[in-house]
Amino acid sequence: MGAYNEFEAEIQERLWAWADRYHRAQLDGGKRLNRPPVLAEQFAAEGVLVPPSGREITEIRAAIPASDRHRWFRSLKSSQALTQSVFGAIRAFDCLNLLYDVPAECGRPAFFDSRSGWSIEFEHEISVLNEPRPTNVDVFLLGPGKRVAVECKFMEREFGTCSRPRLRPKEPTYERQFCDGNYRIQRGRSKRCALTEIGIRYWEFLPHLFDWPADRDLLPCRFGEVYQLARNALAATVGPDGKLSATSGHALLLYDARNPEFQSGGKAELQWQSAIAACRVPGLLRRLSWQQLLKTLSSSSNLAYLVEGVERKYGLKPE
């Protein structure tokens, strides 16, 4: 059994123990073998950790509307439910100040270095890139002239990549948008990128953030492999006015330090290092483990239930 499979099996065993204890009558009835527990549709909100009592329960559960839930939100391994549990509590208990000056792995502030004027949004939509399906940022922090786009991972094995090389001949967009994975003019288009061809603005800004020139062929396309990371960088630096300010924000990755794919040689780690190597803006991409964030949150008595619950459910411990 590979390292990731061992990690996955351990987490799923823990999640099933949690489900048997707290959600036995709320599951979807699916098999137990080789899958995480999944809540029945009417109990989807139960996957979010909330305090035992208080007005904050309603606020935390309402942080992400049902319409914005990811496809696998009802799975107890959902990174979105984990994100809502943690950042929903931070907002409900007015604990954003705890994130002040928390160091990222690079030594820069993971979140922000000023104490006031910050707000938090969930599934924040970026509407200025002319995307058919706008980028949605897991957690978006807005402050005085600054933005932080937070990408939250848990059991994922990699970051999202460009979908155009994966288009199949039967799909309606295949003829116009299929890409062979190289940044070059192909299939009769006038632009090197199929996304640029349909008006998406990525390549208007990418060369200012990464060492990817827009005016020459790139074989293979460097953007496609780190697509999700680069889009988060764009979300943090392209303002509501549609203009780029490379120093106006940064993208932060939150990840589980136990996940082998985020360790040396893992798929996600290779993607991360590729993006970092190409990055032209110091500190544009930063990362922090859930374990380190929980260490910070453990200083608040209001969040004691959360830190304990996250450890019992997911096995994530403050470090």
Q: What is the pLDDT of residues 82-102, one digit of tens each?
A: 999 999 999 999 999 999 999
Task: Mark the ranges of the chain whose per-residue pLDDT is less than 50.
Answer: none
* pLDDT tens for each residue of 61-70: 999 999 999 9
What pLDDT does 19 receive?
Answer: 97
Those residues with Cβ within 8 angstroms of residue 249's Cβ, 6 or more apart along the chain or in another chain: 146, 147, 148, 149, 236, 237
Sign of the Cα torsion 162, 163, 168, 169 reads negative
What pLDDT does 188 receive?
Answer: 94
What's the gap between Cα 7 and its chain centre? Answer: 20
Q: What is the rounded CA–CA span in Å between residue 71 and residue 297?
A: 28
Q: Where are the domains of the chain?
A: 3-161+226-314, 164-209
What pLDDT does 1 receive?
Answer: 66
Neighbours of 89 (CB within 10 A): 27
Q: Count of alpha carbons within 13 Å of 46, Cβ hemisphere only?
A: 17
Q: What is the rounded CA–CA span in Å between residue 251 and residue 236?
A: 6
Q: Which two tokens mark 295?
A: 């260490």
Q: Is 312 exposed, middle or buried (0-12, 13-18, 19+ CB in 10 A)?
A: middle
> What angle, 0 to 180 degrees and rounded to 10, lies between the N-to-C axes of helices 3-22 and 304-314?
120
